[in-house]
């Protein structure tokens, strides 16, 4: 590759190649003003030479000025400059000897007679310069470039005339002798003019080159001119930074530049294939940044160039850096891929979600903040949206509309009253079976990134069946308790009827026993009769206590406990049993029958005592519960706990201990204590439960609603 000529101006290299930041015009541009050669510098020595050699005293030169079509005085010898320069003879003064000499190209001798033909101002000027008799010699021109093209259709062969006078008369021989000098002066003038033109044109060239330099280097893209062999002829500064090697370059930079030249030439050679009819082509070119070592991507536009001066052909290559563009494009492509895969993922996610929503049998509804449905699963659609085949007035469509209205007002209510919680029940109608559906609805607020509520998702659970079972259970309980009450009433009325004759029997037995001596053989029969009547009496007492019409009134449970304990205190002490109380002082009064609850407390305490034949501890505690117990969710309740350290209840006895007449105490127990107690507690709307571990003890828990039984007083 031939060494490239750089297109370089006089501006410092560091400022090149940055369009819009041009430094002030360089010095060379300012000095490029055309300086005309003063013709006097050529003519004056000639006039002086003539004066010396041929004895001429005075002389003046008038040169042809094509712009004014006149001969104009330029220089004089022994003639004042002002006079010499004031000569101006238009070329159309054909009679003027100076015009004649110029146009004919022949010398003339002029004397008084000739002068007489001249215009007055011209004649007086000549006389003033003391030219009375003189010679006019043309200064021949050899060069057509001088600009003396023609005057009135004729070539003018001279560049001007010289007029000379001396003391003696001028002869033809003098004229002959002057001719060679005149010819010499003419061509000297022409040469001077040529030199001047040349200088002028090279200044112009320098100026143009300077502007060209700025023009090409203002482009931040590399611009390269190559010849027919793809060798670089010219390149701008940016191109030099990529392609021009310097002797002091590092080995790495030299290698990069060598590589760039190689790649560029290769691309140029192959670009021929892509040329269009106008010889233009565009191709991509990858180069190396010689400083950074990084990859640079260019788009190379190739345009053909012809030097019409010598007919040589070349190529102009303009490289546009598209590294960033390419990277941006790659980034965009990558982002598009990422977006596509994200979209795929979202689609898959949505499909999965749809599958889940379809498979869930519970209705699921997503509502926006204006209660417009965003999403409904299949089951929700069935309940709330009439299908297209359902006409507006069809029963099914109406059910759907009603369901939707119910649900919307339900959700609005939930939103209005957050204290209510987001879970509640709603009764809808099945559009297909027309059945009533009790739906347990759980709504959750959907929040966006900044925590604002944007939607509500509601999941419904059909609890109709559950509620139906509950209803049946309640009915059964009611039925059972009614049965129990009826049994109780029957038992109590029998007990009442038996009680009076029994009292009479007991009195009779008492009298008989008092009258019978202990040695009497009948005394033992009397003892048996007394024991058995006592037993019958105990049974009747239990029965009557249960039945006795209860007096429901606010009752202090703690006081009842203390009273009951007072009744058996002595008995407990005798049996080495300790009593421990932990009674809640803030216990509210309970609507209850004090007599009946006391009977329950005594039954439980007596059982505890009987379970501890060798002594122990009975712990009694009370507490209040505010709706926390699953059994009394809606109401507050009072809980009584009676714990003993006795022998506990055998596992196999547990299912039977509330049954009437179940006892493990032989004839000492009637087996009615717990049965009656449970009846009383249940009649109060409460419950009785126990925990027992054999050998460790038993705990009975009685819970009573503070407000008493729901329908107290109805028994
Ligand atoms: N605290 C207890 N510890 C151990 N067993 C108990 C306890 N309470 C009740 N039982 C068992 O439950 C049975 C039934 O008790 P329930 O009070 O109904 O009848 P009873 O105590 O046997 O007779 P009654 O109460 O008429 O004297 C008892 O016989 C006993 O086996
Ligand atoms: Mg008992």
Q: Angle at Cα 117 formed by Cα 112 and Cα 120, nearest 5°?
A: 95
Alpha-carbon distance of 527 to 255, in angstroms, equals: 135
Contact 643, 619 (CB under 8 A): yes
* pLDDT tens column, 230-244: 899 889 999 999 999
> Does the pLDDT of residue 16 top 60, yes or no?
no
Name the β-bridge partners of 622.
Answer: 640
Q: What percent of the chain has pLDDT over 70?
A: 87
Ligand 2 centre from 700 Cα, in Å?
13
| End-to-end CA separation in angstroms for the chain | 124
* pLDDT tens column, 49-99: 878 888 888 999 998 887 888 888 988 999 998 888 899 988 888 888 888
CB of 608 within 6 A of ligand 1: the answer is yes
Half-sphere exposure of 463 (CA within 13 A, CB side): 15
* pLDDT tens column, 410-423: 888 877 766 655 77
CB of 662 within 6 A of ligand 1: the answer is yes
Question: How much is the pTM?
Answer: 0.39
- pLDDT interval class at 1 (50, 70, 90): very low
The interaxial angle of helices 40-54 and 172-217, nearest 10 deg, is 160
Query: What's the pLDDT score for residue 11?
Result: 40
Query: What's the pLDDT score for residue 145?
Result: 42
Alpha-carbon distance of 286 to 264, in angstroms, equals: 9
User: Do 40-199 and 218-321 come out as alike in CATH topology?
Assistant: yes
The CATH superfamily holding the domain 218-321 is: PAS domain (3.30.450.20)
> Does the pLDDT of residue 25 top 50, yes or no?
no
Ligand 2 centre from 574 Cα, in Å?
19
Q: Report whether CATH 3.40.50 matches the domain 463-548.
A: no
DSSP E strand stretches across 32-179: 58-65, 70-77, 88-90, 108-110, 134-140, 158-165
For ligand 1, atom 8, name the residue with the nearest CA: 607
Q: How far is CA 318 from CA 216, 231, 285, 655, in A?
A: 11, 15, 11, 104
Among 674, 678, 689, which is best to mutate for testing ligand 1, by the most ligand atoms less than 8 A from CB? 674
Q: Which overall architecture, per CATH, does domain 551-715 show?
A: 2-Layer Sandwich (3.30)
Q: What is the DSSP code (8-state) at residue 151?
A: B
Nearest CA to 414 among 470, 449, 478, 460? 460
Among 603, 657, 672, 699, which is best to mutate for testing ligand 1, by the most ligand atoms less than 8 A from CB? 657
Name the β-bridge partners of 700.
Answer: 642, 690
Ligand 1 centre from 478 Cα, in Å?
26
How far out from the chain centre does Cα 641 lie? 63
Of 193-207, 257-271, 458-472, 646-660, give the lowest mean pLDDT range: 193-207
Coil/strand/helix, residue 321: strand
Ligand 1 centre from 6 Cα, in Å?
123
Query: What's the pLDDT score for residue 418?
Result: 64
> Does the pLDDT of residue 627 top 70, yes or no?
no
Alpha-carbon distance of 609 to 267, in angstroms, equals: 113
For ligand 1, atom 9, name the residue with the nearest CA: 607
Query: What's the pLDDT score for residue 174?
Result: 84
For the chain, the structural domain boundaries read 40-199, 218-321, 371-460, 463-548, 551-715
Q: Is 229 exposed, middle or buried (0-12, 13-18, 19+ CB in 10 A)?
A: exposed
- pLDDT interval class at 590 (50, 70, 90): very high
Token couple for 89? 């003879």
The CATH superfamily holding the domain 40-199 is: GAF domain (3.30.450.40)
Question: Which ligand lies nearest to the CA atom of residue 669 in the structure?
Answer: 1
CB of 669 within 6 A of ligand 1: the answer is yes
- pLDDT interval class at 3 (50, 70, 90): very low
Coil/strand/helix, residue 88: strand
Alpha-carbon distance of 310 to 109, in angstroms, equals: 52
- pLDDT interval class at 193 (50, 70, 90): low
Token couple for 498? 């038996």
542 CA: nearest ligand 1 atom: 26
* pLDDT tens column, 332-371: 999 999 999 999 999 999 888 888 888 888 999 998 988 8
Ligand 2 centre from 354 Cα, in Å?
63
Ligand 1 centre from 639 Cα, in Å?
21
Question: Which ligand lies nearest to the CA atom of residue 538 in the structure?
Answer: 1
Alpha-carbon distance of 77 to 168, in angstroms, equals: 17
> Does the pLDDT of residue 29 top 50, yes or no?
no
Q: What value does the mean pLDDT take over residues 561-577?
A: 94
Alpha-carbon distance of 715 to 711, in angstroms, equals: 9
CA torsion, points 50, 52, 55, 59, in degrees to nearest 10? 50
CB of 672 within 6 A of ligand 1: the answer is yes
Name the β-bridge partners of 577.
Answer: 616
Token couple for 476? 């059964």
A 10 A CB-CB count for 460 gives 22
Nearest CA to 151 among 90, 206, 205? 90
Long-range contacts of 399-407 (CB under 8 A, 24+ apart): 399/429, 399/430, 399/431, 399/434, 400/431, 402/429, 403/428, 403/429, 403/431, 407/365, 407/441, 407/458
For ligand 1, atom 26, name the residue with the nearest CA: 670
Question: Which ligand lies nearest to the CA atom of residue 679 in the structure?
Answer: 1
Query: What's the pLDDT score for residue 142?
Result: 62
Query: What's the pLDDT score for residue 38?
Result: 67
For ligand 1, atom 17, name the residue with the nearest CA: 673
- Which helix (H) or strand (E) is 423 found in, with range? strand 423-429
Of 47-51, 462-466, 679-683, give the lowest mean pLDDT range: 47-51
Alpha-carbon distance of 466 to 180, in angstroms, equals: 143
Contact 459, 441 (CB under 8 A): yes
- What are residue 246's phi and psi, to 5 degrees? -120, 150
Alpha-carbon distance of 639 to 631, in angstroms, equals: 12
Ligand 2 centre from 291 Cα, in Å?
107
Question: Which ligand lies nearest to the CA atom of residue 695 in the structure?
Answer: 1
Cβ burial 20-34 (10 Å sphere, 16+ → b, else e): eeeeebeeebeebee
Query: What's the pLDDT score for residue 299?
Result: 92
Ligand 1 centre from 580 Cα, in Å?
21
Give me the numbers of helices (H) and strands (E) for the chain, helices first please: 17, 24
**Phi-psi category of 514—alpha, beta or left, where left has phi over 0 and alpha has psi -120 to 50?**
alpha
Coil/strand/helix, residue 155: coil
């Amino acid at each position: 590759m031939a060494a490239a000529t750089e297109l370089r101006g006089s501006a410092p290299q560091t400022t090149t190649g940055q369009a819009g930041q041009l430094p002030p015009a360089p010095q060379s541009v300012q000095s490029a003003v055309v300086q005309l050669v003063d013709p006097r510098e050529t003519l004056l020595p000639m006039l002086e030479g003539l004066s010396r050699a041929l004895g001429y005293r005075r002389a003046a030169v008038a040169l042809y000025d094509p712009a004014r079509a006149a001969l104009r005085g330029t220089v004089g010898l022994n003639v004042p400059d002002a006079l010499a320069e004031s000569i101006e003879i238009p070329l159309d003064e054909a009679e003027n000897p100076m015009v004649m000499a110029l146009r004919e190209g022949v010398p003339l001798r002029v004397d008084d007679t000739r002068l007489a033909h001249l215009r007055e101002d011209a004649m007086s000027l000549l006389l003033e310069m003391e030219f009375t008799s003189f010679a006019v010699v043309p200064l021949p021109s050899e060069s057509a470039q001088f600009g003396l093209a023609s005057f009135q259709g004729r070539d003018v062969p001279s560049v001007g005339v010289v007029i000379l006078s001396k003391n003696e008369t001028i002869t033809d021989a003098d004229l002959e002798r002057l001719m060679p000098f005149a010819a010499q002066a003419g061509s000297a003038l022409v040469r001077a003019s040529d030199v001047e033109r040349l200088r002028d044109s090279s200044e112009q060239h320098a100026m143009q080159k300077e502007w060209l330099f700025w023009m090409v280097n203002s482009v931040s893209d590399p611009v390269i001119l190559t010849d027919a062999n793809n060798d670089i002829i010219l390149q701008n500064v940016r191109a030099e930074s990529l392609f021009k090697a310097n002797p002091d370059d590092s080995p790495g930079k030299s290698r990069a530049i060598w590589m760039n030249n190689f790649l560029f030439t290769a691309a140029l050679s192959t670009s021929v294939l892509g040329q269009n009819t106008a010889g233009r082509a565009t191709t991509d070119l990858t180069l190396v940044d010689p400083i950074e070592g990084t990859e640079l991507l260019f788009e190379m536009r190739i345009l053909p160039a012809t030097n019409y001066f010598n007919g040589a052909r070349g190529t102009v290559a303009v490289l546009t850096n598209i590294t960033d563009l390419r990277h941006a494009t790659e980034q965009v492509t990558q982002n598009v891929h990422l977006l596509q895969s994200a979209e795929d993922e979202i689609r898959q996610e949505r499909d999965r979600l749809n599958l889940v929503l379809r498979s869930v049998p519970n209705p699921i509804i997503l509502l926006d903040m204006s209660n417009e449905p965003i999403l409904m699963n299949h089951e929700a659609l069935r309940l709330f949206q009439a299908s297209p085949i359902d006409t507006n007035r069809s029963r099914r469509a109406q059910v759907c509309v009603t369901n939707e209205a119910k649900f919307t007002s339900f959700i609005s209510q939930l939103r209005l009253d957050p204290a209510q919680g987001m879970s509640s029940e709603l009764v809808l109608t099945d559009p297909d079976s027309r059945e009533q559906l009790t739906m347990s609805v759980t709504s959750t607020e959907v929040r966006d990134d900044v925590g604002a509520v944007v939607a509500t998702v509601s999941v419904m659970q059909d609890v109709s069946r559950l509620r139906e079972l509950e209803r049946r259970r309640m009915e059964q309980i009611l039925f059972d308790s009614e049965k129990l009450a009826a049994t109780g009433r029957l038992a109590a009325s029998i007990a009442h009827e038996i009680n009076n004759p029994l009292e009479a029997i007991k009195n009779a037995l008492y009298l008989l026993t008092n009258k019978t001596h202990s040695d009497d053989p009948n005394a033992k029969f009397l003892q048996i009769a007394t024991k058995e009547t006592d037993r019958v009496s105990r049974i009747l007492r239990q029965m009557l206590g249960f039945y006795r019409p209860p007096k429901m009134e606010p009752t202090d449970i703690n006081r009842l406990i203390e009273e009951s304990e007072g009744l058996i205190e002595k008995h407990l002490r005798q049996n080495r049993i300790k009593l421990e109380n932990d009674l809640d002082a803030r216990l509210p009064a309970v609507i209850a029958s004090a007599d009946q609850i006391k009977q329950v407390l005594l039954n439980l305490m007596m059982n505890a005592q009987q379970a501890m034949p060798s002594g122990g501890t009975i712990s009694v505690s009370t507490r209040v519960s505010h709706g926390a117990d699953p059994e009394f969710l809606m109401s507050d309740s009072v809980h009584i706990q009676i714990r003993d350290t006795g022998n506990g209840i055998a596992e196999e006895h547990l299912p039977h201990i509330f049954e009437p007449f179940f006892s493990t105490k032989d004839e000492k127990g009637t087996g009615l204590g717990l049965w009656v107690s449970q009846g009383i507690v249940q009649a109060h709307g409460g419950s009785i439960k126990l925990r027992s571990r054999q050998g460790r003890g038993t705990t009975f828990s009685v819970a009573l609603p503070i407000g008493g039984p729901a329908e107290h007083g109805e028994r």
